[in-house]
A and B are shown apart, each in its own frame.
Chain A
Amino acid sequence: MPADAAVTDKLPHVSSSVRKYLGGSGGQAPRDRGGAAAARPRGFFANNPSVLIFIACLAVFTLAVTILSEGLGLGIISTSFVKTLGKTLCLCLVAIAMDLVWGYCGILSLGHFAFFGLGGYMIGMWLMYERTRLIVVDSLANAPLPPTPDEVRDGIATQIFGVVGASDFPAVWAFAHSLPIQLALVVIVPGLLALVFGWLAFRSRVTGVYLSILTQAMTLALALYLFQNDSGLRGNNGLSGLQNLPGLEAVPQALISVWFLWGSALALGLGYVLAAWVVSGKLGSVIRGIRDDEARVRFLGYPVEGFKLFIFTLTAVIAGIAGALYYPQAGIINPAEIAPIASIYLAVWVAIGGRGRIYGAVIGAAFVSLLSTWFTGGQAPDLPLGIYTVQWVDWWLVLLGLSFVLVTLFAPKGIGGLFDLVSHQRHPDRHGADLGPDMGSYREQEAQE
C-alpha cells in the first residue's frame, strides 16, 4: 500500500485545499464554497485517486507474483505460498466487507465469517459433487453395463456421504450438479441469510453490543448446525478436495494457484472499487451518520433500518464471494471455519488495520493474517529468554491478544493511522461532548479521523 494513496483516499474534504480552486460552477459569485462541493461531480476516480493507486499496486503485485510463481514464471515462489497469497487477497476482500459494515456503518457484526463460510460451502458443494461424479463415472466405465443415472447418483452419494453414514443426497444438494446455480447460491444464500437476520435484528432496533452478541449467536447457531452429521454437509468432516477442479485434472496445481490468484485479485480490485464508490457518495455520508448518531439520521427522514439492511446484506454478499474464492485455494472447508472466533478475528484485522478507511481493512487483513501464518507455521525463530525459550507457535496468540488490547487502547486508528502521521494531517483541536445519545458508537476522538 502506498502511503500517498492512503492519504488522499480519506474522506473527500481531506484534500480540499488541493481542490479548492476547481469549484465555481454557474453564475455564483466566487466564494469559498469548499472543494468538496465543487469536486463532487468531477467523477468518481478523480475524487478518489487512491482507488486507482490501489488498483495499480494490486496489479503490480499480481504481476510480480505471477512472474515469480512456479506455474507461469521463474518458480521462486512456491505454489503453496502463491495459494497463501491468493487466500490473503480473499481475506482482504472480506475485511473490506467488515470495514464497510463496522468502520463505516457502525455495526460490529460478528457474523461475517459465517457468510464467508457459506459462500465457501456453496462453491464447495459443486466442486465436490462434480469431481466425485467424474470419479464415479470413471470407475463405472469399466463395468459390463453402461451406468444408469441412478447408479451414478447413488455412487456419488455413497462416496460423499459415506463418512457420515448416509448414502442419500440431502435436499440442500438439490442443485449441486449445476455450476451456474451454485454460483448464484454463493451470492444468494449469504445474502438471504443476512437479509432475514438483519431485517429481524434492525427492525427491533437491536443496536451496539446487543447486535454484536446477536450476530455472534447467529454464527454459533450456524456452526453448531453444520457440525451435525445430518445437516447434509458432512458434519465436522466438511467438504474436502476442493483444490481439484473438476475436468482440469491435467492442469498442475501450480497453474491453478496462479489462476485463483488472478481471480482473487480481480475480486479484491472490484470489491475495493465498489466499496469506495458506495462510501464516496451520499450513501457513505448517511451510513457514517448512522454510525455516529443513528437517531439524528432517523429524524432527517432516512429509514435507518433500510440503510443498515442494505449495507449488511451487501457486505454479506461480498463476504460470500470472498469465501467462494478462498476455499478452493484452501482445499477444505469445515464448520470450525465458521466458529464465532473467526468472525472476531476479522474484527481484529480491521481494527488493527484501521477501520473507517478501506485501505486500512486491506492492510490489517494482509498484515495480521500473513504474520499469523508466519508465526503459527513455525517459521518464526524461537526467542531464548535465558530461563525460558519463547516458542512462537505457543505464544503467538498471547502476543496477538495483547497487541490487540494495546492497539485498542493506544492506537484506535490502527496501522492506517500511521499514514495520517506521515502526512501531518491537522486535527481539529476543538473538543466537545460525545457525539450523540447512542453511546454505542464513537466518541469525538475517533470522529476526528
Chain B
Amino acid sequence: MSTLLEVSGVSVSFDGFRAINNLSFSIGPTELRAIIGPNGAGKTTFMDIVTGKTKPDEGRVLWGDENASLLRMSESRIAQAGVGRKFQRPTVFEDQSVFDNLMMALKKPRNPFKVLVFRPTSEDEDRVVALAEEIGLAAHLSRKSGELSHGQKQWLEIGMLLAQEPRLLLVDEPAAGMTLAEREHTTEILKEAAKTRAVVVVEHDMEFVRRLDCKVTVLHEGSVLAEGSLDHVTKNKDVIDVYLGR
C-alpha cells in the first residue's frame, strides 16, 4: 500500500523538554487510524508538526505521491495541499452563520484576489447544503454558529473539514463532551470519510476508539510505543504499564 503521509525520525524539544522523540509514522491514502496515548505523549505536538504549526528540530515529513516535504511549507500551503485539522476545542467562526462557515471552508481558490471576486454559484450552494445535511445541520444554515450546541459545533467543524476536501483529516478528540447519540453520529461521519481519504483520530476515550474499529497507534513520551488493532495493543505489556502505571 502506498503511503500518503510519512513522518520519519522527527524530534522536537521545548526548552530542553523533548515533546517528540524520534517519531516515525505513516498512513495510506484511504485509512482510518486512531492515535491514543496518555497526557503529554505528544499527540497534539505531532499534529502541530504535520500541519506546520511547529517546526521540528530534526526529521522528515513527506507528503503525497511526489514525496513533497511538508516542513518547507507554510500552514496554509499544507492545508491547501490537503491536510485538514480539527482542533480539540470546537473552533468555528461563532460570529458567522453556519452557511458562511461552510462556504469559507469549501475547496476553492484561496488567493486573496480570487476570494475578493468570488461569488458562490448555485452548485457551491448545493454543495454546502449537501454537507449540512451530512452533518445534520441543514436546518440551521442561517443561524450564527455561536448559537449552536457544543456537539453541533463539533459537527460543523467536521463539516468544514469535509468541505475542504482534504486527503488527510487530523481529528483531535472529536467525541469530547458529546452525548452517546452524538458520538454514534460522529463515528459514522468519520468512518464514511475514511472511505475516500486518510483519517487520523486522536482520542482518549477507548470506547470511542473501539467503535471506530481501526488500526491504533499508541504514543508515549514522544514516540510510538505500539501499533496494531485495539485488542492487540491493549494486550501489549508496555501499553498496560504506561496506562496503568507500575
Contacts and interface: CB of A to CB of B under 8 A. Distances in A.
Interface of A: 11-13, 16, 20, 25-26, 28, 31-38, 40-41, 278, 281-283, 285-286, 288-289, 292-293, 295-296, 298-304, 306-307, 309-310, 428, 430, 432-433, 435-436, 442, 444, 447-449
Given A299-B79, A436-B91, A447-B146, A285 B104 contact: yes
B144 A428 contact: yes
A23 B99 CA distance: 13
A302 B238 CA distance: 42
Interface of B: 51, 53, 74-77, 79-80, 84-85, 87, 89, 91-100, 103-105, 110-113, 115-122, 125-126, 128-129, 132, 138-144, 146-150, 160, 164
Contacts of A449: 95
Contact of A432 (B94, B97, B112, B118): B94
Nearest to B138: A31
Contact of A301 (B53, B80, B91): B80
A356 to B, nearest CB: 9
Given A33-B141, A435-B95, 10 more contacts: A11-B95, A11-B97, A16-B97, A25-B125, A37-B125, A38-B125, A282-B103, A299-B75, A300-B164, A430-B149
Q: Which 7 residue pairs of A and B lie closest in terms of their CB atoms, listed nearest first?
A: A34-B142, A301-B79, A34-B141, A428-B147, A301-B80, A447-B95, A16-B142
Contacts of A16: 97, 142
Contacts of A26: 122, 126
B111 A306 contact: yes
Nearest to B100: A285
Find the residue from A20, A285, A428 having the highest chain B CB count within 10 A: A285
A433 B90 CA distance: 10
Contacts of B138: 31-33
A281 B116 contact: yes
Contacts of B80: 301
Contacts of A282: 103-104, 115, 118-120
Nearest to B142: A34
A26 B105 CA distance: 22
A156 to B, nearest CB: 42
Contacts of A31: 129, 138-139
B97 A289 contact: no
Contacts of B95: 11, 288, 292, 435, 442, 447-449
B129 A303 contact: no
A20 B142 contact: yes
Given A285-B104, A288-B96, A293-B91, A432 B146 contact: yes
B97 A430 contact: no
B170 to A, nearest CB: 9
A155 to B, nearest CB: 47
Given A36-B99, A37-B142, A301-B76, A447 B94 contact: yes
B142 A430 contact: no
Nearest to B108: A282
Contacts of B113: 310
A36 B116 contact: no
17 contacts: A13-B142, A25-B125, A28-B126, A34-B98, A36-B97, A37-B99, A41-B121, A281-B118, A292-B94, A293-B93, A298-B74, A301-B164, A430-B147, A447-B94, A447-B146, A448-B95, A448-B144
Contacts of A428: 144, 146-147
A32 B141 contact: yes
A296 B87 contact: yes
B174 to A, nearest CB: 15
A37 B129 contact: yes
B128 A37 contact: yes
Contacts of A293: 91, 93
Contacts of B125: 25, 33, 37-38, 40
Contacts of B87: 296
Contact of A298 (B76, B105, B126, B144): B76
A12 B95 CA distance: 12
Find the residue from A35, A37, A38, A41 having the highest chain B CB count within 10 A: A37
A11 B89 CA distance: 26
Contacts of A296: 87, 91-93
Contacts of B160: 300
A46 B206 CA distance: 52
A283 B93 contact: no
Contacts of B122: 25-26, 41
Contacts of A283: 112, 115-116, 118
Nearest to B170: A299
Nearest to A39: B142
B94 A289 contact: no
